[in-house]
Every structure is written in C-alpha cells, then in structure tokens.
C-alpha cells in the first residue's frame, strides 16, 4: 500500500522534480489538515515524524491533474517543480484515491465540463474552433481571440503573470526614483511622437494598447534584459540600464521592441495558442481560470516565434525613426550584449521570451543597420 494513514492526513507516495535538477526524488506528499498546504517529505523519513519538510506550496497555487484525463497524474507546482505519480503499476490508482480522500477538488475546467449546459456550449465552441483553426490556422484564431479578451480578464491574466515572475525571479530595482522616472518619461515621449506620426499616415490605425513599465533587478541568468508579458506589462532589468548608461537611446530601442510585442498582443496570442481550448472557452463563458491555472508552467517555456520577433523589430525601427533616433542603436546593443555574455558566461535564461534570449543573428543586425 503506497498511501498511509499513520498520522492523520492521507499520504501519497510520489516522485518530485524540484524544477532545478532533472533527477526525481521519491517523496511522501500530503495536504495539511485544513487542506491549504501541500507538503512534501523525503520518502526515507517515514519513520521520523520530525524530519524536515522538503517543500510546501499553497494547494490553490498547484495545478492539479484532471481526473478525466487518462495520462500520467502530474501536478505542476508554482515554483516550476512537478509532482508525478509513483511509477509502480498502482501509482495512478493510489493518486486518485489519495486525491479523493484528501478532499482535493477538481480543477474548474473539470467542474464546468460536468455542467450540461456548458458541455453543449463547449461542444459547439470546439467544433467552431476546430473548423476555424482548420481553415485559418490556430495562430489566426488566437489573433482574433486576443483582441476579444475582455479588459478585466486581460488585466487579471497580466497581473498574475507579473506576480509569478516577481515571485520566481525578480527583485526590486535598485535604480533611484529619478532614474526610473527619466526612462519612463523618455519612453512616453517616443510613444507620443509615434502615435502622432501614425495618426497622420494611417488615420484608422489602432492606438497602442495600454502598457506599464516596471523596473526590476533580475537574477544573473537574466542579465541586461527586457520582456513584455501577456497584457502589456514590460519589465526592464537594472543590468540593461547599466549596460546602456552612456547611451540611453539603447534602452528606448529595446523598450520600443517590447512595445511592438504589446501592440501586436503577441503575449496573449501565444498564451491563447498554447491553451487554445481553455482560452477560447473562457471567451464564451467569461471564465479564464483554466488559462490562468496553466500560466506559470507556460511562462517558463513560452518563446516568441521568429515572425513575432520580426514584427517587434519592425515596430522598434519605426518608433525610433519617428523619434529621430537612429535604429543603429540596436546594433550597438547587440554588440554590448554579446560582449557582456562572453565575459560573464551565458546562463540559460529562465524566460525564453525575454529579449536577450534571442540571438543577435546577422539578419537582425542587417535589419537595423540598413535604416538611416
Ligand atoms: Zn522580442
């Protein structure tokens, strides 16, 4: 028997990946008496009640597997780790028994799928969705969907995303308020010039969606960097401000690229593409909890396509030109970044979607070099 009742709460024997090492550890998992915490303890310490708890997560932040699913039972932990069923043949059955006895509630998707009214809607929706995806492709459907997400849901998704990267990787910026304000104001002025120019050239052009600039100190692996999260939050690292201390137009250029991702709603489109059904069902029933639940796991591996990067680069070039700044500042940024990464050693970035995770290949350099 892999579950045990020896001290109150039912325990589950499982494998735990801590999100840093590829090696799984055998653990006991159980929920605290009030059900609010998931606790993990090394398996070997069964006889030792006082042994240290290896990890502890708020159970509402854990993405629990759905019982309807046939695949391996896996729970995604908020720190990027994962809890998997025991490899023994009865591992899955034990997991399900444990979940039931622990009073774990099904995720919202499963509960809403059990309501017949919603099943009908979902079936129609999925059929319509599949048909559109067949005809126009999933990226097209995601593009249409991204524009339809209600503002309140978009705000919730974006603030959860920012919360998550803050918890996982970022620290408060050490830049002075004056420095932060200067960069914010400089960017606002460039945005304003760009809007005026666009309004003259294409009167019906959509205005830039709302964006918010955040200053943060990142871990070493993030280095001089900036990234745009789904929904319009842009994070700029102190290391990038330092790297461009004598040429602040570089910061403006990188932020203009990130604003390109915001303008084209790349983050939300990518999130919808990844959680297609969850996202589009959300559009219909106004409940984005399924998309929200998958957000942490998604953020850690989401990567903009070359096409999205090209669109953002084009946006940066136009915005810099509108402001009278030579787009060649971007070439100088690539040079500095390469030198920085060579000197410090390049760690794998925890956020593939961040600017510095994309190589400064020849095509990009030529693109910015060609501009006056
Ligand atoms: Zn980018």
Residue 179 sits in the same domain as residue 248? yes
User: Does residue 153 share a domain with residue 87?
Assistant: no
Q: What residues make up the domain containing 134? A: 124-369
Phi, psi torsion values for 247, nearest 5 degrees: -145, 75
Ligand 1 centre to CA of 130 (Å) is 29
Which of 18-27, 338-347, 356-365 is least confident? 18-27
Expressed in angstroms and rounded, the spacing between residue 50 Cα and the centre of ligand 1 is 48
129 and 71 belong to one structural domain: no
Higher pLDDT, 125 or 110: 125
| 220 and 306 assigned to the same domain | yes
73: CA distance to ligand 1 center in Å? 34
The rounded Å distance from CA 254 to ligand 1 centre is 9
The answer as to whether 28 is a domain residue is yes
47 contacts: CB under 8 Å, gap ≥ 6: none
Q: Is the residue at 116 inside a domain?
A: no
CA distance 221 to 344: 10
2 inside domain? no
Same-domain check for residues 298 and 324: yes
CA–centroid distance, residue 317 to ligand 1 (Å): 13
Q: Would the pLDDT of 372 be above 50?
A: yes
Higher pLDDT, 139 or 340: 340
Task: Give residue 313's pLDDT.
Answer: 94
Ligand 1 is a single-atom ion; what residues have CB below 5 A from it?
309, 312
The reported pLDDT for the residue numbered 343 is 87
Domain's final residue, options 74, 106, 138:
106
Of 45, 80, 106, which marks where a domain is finished? 106
- Residue 357 reports pLDDT greater than 50: yes
Q: Is the pLDDT of residue 273 over 60?
A: yes
Tell whether 4 is covered by a domain: no
Find the helix or strand (DSSP H, E) in which 217 lies: strand 212-217
Residue 285 and residue 278 in contact, taking contact as beta carbons nearer than 8 Å: no
Residue 110 pLDDT grade (very low, low, confident, very high; cuts 50, 70, 90): very low
347 or 206: whose pLDDT is higher? 206
Work out whether strand 212-217 and strand 233-237 pair parallel, antiparallel, or are unpaired: parallel
Examine residue 271 and state whether it is found in any structural domain, yes or no.
yes
> Are 75 and 160 in the same domain?
no
Report the number of distinct structural domains present in the chain: 2
Assigned domain for 113 exists: no
Nearest-5° Cα angle at 10, 9 to 16: 110
Both 314 and 236 in a single domain?
Answer: yes
pLDDT tens digits, one per residue of 48-104? 556 678 888 888 777 777 655 556 677 777 777 778 888 788 888 888 888 888 877
189/57 same-domain check: no
pLDDT of 3 higher than 50: no
More confident residue, 286 or 349: 349
- How far does the centroid of ligand 1 lie from the alpha carbon of residue 203, in Å? 27
CA angle 193/199/202 to nearest 5° reads 130
Q: Is residue 359 part of a domain?
A: yes
The 10s digit of each residue's pLDDT in 133-177 is: 555 566 666 666 666 666 667 777 888 889 989 988 899 999 999
Query: What distance in angstroms lies between residue 192's CA and the mean position of ligand 1's atoms?
Result: 21
pLDDT digits (tens, 9 = 90+) for 191-211: 999 988 887 777 667 778 889
Instruction: State how far the Cα of 218 lies from the Cα of 3, in Å rounded to an integer.
Output: 41
What is the rounded distance in angstroms from the CA atom of residue 337 to the CA atom of residue 348? 15
Residue 325 pLDDT class (50, 70, 90 cuts): very high
What strand order describes the sheet that includes 233-237?
Answer: 171-172, 212-217, 233-237, 226-228
Residue 60 located in a structural domain: yes
Taking 90 as the threshold, does the pLDDT of residue 319 lie above it? yes
Compute, in angstroms, the gap from residue 309 CA to the centroid of ligand 1.
5
pLDDT of 128 reads 64
Q: 242 and 319 share a domain? A: yes
For 50-59, 281-290, 301-310, which range has the lowest pLDDT when averaged over its residues?
Answer: 281-290
Residues 103-113 have a mean pLDDT of: 53
Judgement on whether residues 129 and 39 belong to the same structural domain of the protein: no
What pLDDT is attached to residue 112? 45
- Does this model's pTM top 0.95? My answer is no
Confidence of residue 109 (pLDDT cuts 50, 70, 90): very low
Q: Are residues 353 and 248 in the same domain?
A: yes
CATH at 63: 2.30.29.30
Whether residue 139 sits in one domain with residue 87: no
pLDDT cut 70: percent of the chain above it: 72
Whether pLDDT at 118 is above 70: no
What percentage of the chain carries pLDDT values higher than 90? 28
């Amino acid at each position: 028997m892999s579950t045990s009742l020896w001290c109150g709460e039912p325990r589950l024997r499982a494998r735990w990946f801590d999100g840093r090492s590829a090696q799984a550890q055998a653990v006991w998992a159980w929920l605290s008496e009030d059900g609010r915490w998931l606790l993990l303890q090394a398996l070997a310490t069964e006889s030792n009640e006082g042994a240290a708890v290896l990890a502890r997560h708020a159970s509402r932040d854990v993405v629990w597997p759905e019982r309807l699913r046939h695949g391996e039972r896996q729970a995604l932990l908020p720190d990027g780790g994962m809890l998997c069923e025991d490899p023994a043949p009865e591992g899955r059955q034990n997991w399900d028994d444990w979940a039931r006895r622990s009073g774990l509630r099904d995720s919202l998707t499963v509960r809403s799928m059990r309501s017949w009214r919603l099943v009908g809607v979902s079936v129609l929706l999925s059929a319509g969705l599949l048909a559109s995806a067949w005809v126009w492709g999933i990226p097209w459907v995601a593009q249409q969907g991204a524009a339809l997400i209600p503002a309140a849901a978009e705000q919730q998704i974006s603030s959860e995303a920012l919360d998550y990267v803050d918890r996982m990787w970022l620290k408060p910026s050490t830049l002075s308020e004056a420095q932060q304000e200067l960069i914010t104001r400089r960017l606002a002025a460039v945005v304003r010039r760009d809007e005026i120019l666009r309004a003259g050239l294409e009167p019906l052009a959509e205005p830039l969606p709302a964006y918010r600039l955040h200053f943060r100190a990142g871990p070493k692996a993030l280095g001089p960097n900036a990234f745009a999260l789904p929904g319009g939050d842009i994070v700029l690292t102190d290391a990038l401000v330092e790297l461009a201390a004598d040429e602040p137009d570089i910061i403006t250029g990188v932020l203009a690229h990130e604003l390109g991702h915001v303008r084209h709603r790349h983050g939300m489109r990518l999130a919808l593409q990844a959680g297609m059904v969850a996202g589009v069902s959300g559009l219909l029933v106004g409940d984005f909890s399924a998309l929200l639940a998958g957000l942490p796991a998604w953020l850690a591996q989401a990567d903009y396509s070359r096409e999205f990067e090209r669109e953002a680069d084009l946006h940066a070039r136009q915005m810099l030109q509108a402001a009278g700044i030579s787009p060649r500042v971007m070439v100088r940024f690539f040079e500095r970044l390469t030198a920085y990464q060579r000197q410090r050693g390049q760690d794998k970035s925890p956020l593939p979607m961040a600017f510095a995770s994309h190589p400064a290949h020849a095509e990009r350099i030529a693109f910015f070099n060609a501009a006056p």
